């Protein structure tokens, strides 16, 4: 079945550590997105990529980095510069732009030790 796979489901970060969240899709979608979800705040866009080897900052990109070397993969690195990383992270993809339906992964819960 086609879909988006995020791993791990739960992740713990120590102070000063970088961690990488995985996102893989087999939907052949061009566009991929990373959202951060905090209780009571909805989803906020971190980074998005409309095509391989290209990505743009979203609304809250500070302290995060991404890469898009392959169409099916869009990993997110939470760096030590992100001072409040505890959140639920959601990856999504879409076939195109202009209001196309987003397909979401099941998320990664990141917590700080």
Partner 1 sequence: AQSVTQPDIHITVSEGASLELRCNYSYGATPYLFWYVQSPGQGLQLLLKYFSGDTLVQGIKGFEAEFKRSQSSFNLRKPSVHWSDAAEYFCAVGREYGNKLVFGAGTILRVKS
User: Mask: binding to partner 1, 44-63, rule CB under 8 A, as x and -?
Assistant: xx--x-x-------x-----
Burial of 93 (0-12, 13-18, 19+ CB in 10 A): buried
CB of 25 to partner 1, least distance (A): 12
Between the alpha carbon of residue 4 and those of residues 24, 27, 39, 41, the distances in Å are: 6, 8, 23, 23
* Of the residues 11, 31, 60, 112, which one makes contact with partner 1 according to CB under 8 A: 31
User: Is residue 101 a contact point for partner 1 (CB under 8 A)?
Assistant: yes
How many CB atoms are located within 10 Å of the residue 89 CB?
23
Interface mask toward partner 1 for 58-87; x: CB under 8 A: x-----------------------------
């Amino acid at each position: 079945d086609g879909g988006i796979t995020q791993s791990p489901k739960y992740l713990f970060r120590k102070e000063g550590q970088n961690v990488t969240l995985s996102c893989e899709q087999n939907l052949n979608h061009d566009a991929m997105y990373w959202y951060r979800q905090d209780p009571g705040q909805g989803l906020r866009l971190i980074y998005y990529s409309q095509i391989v080897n290209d990505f743009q900052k979203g609304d809250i990109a500070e302290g995060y980095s991404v890469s898009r070397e392959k169409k099916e993969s869009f990993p997110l690195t939470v760096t030590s510069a992100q001072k409040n990383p505890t959140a639920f992270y959601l990856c999504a993809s879409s076939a195109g732009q202009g209001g196309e339906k987003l397909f979401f992964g099941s998320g990664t819960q990141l917590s700080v030790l």
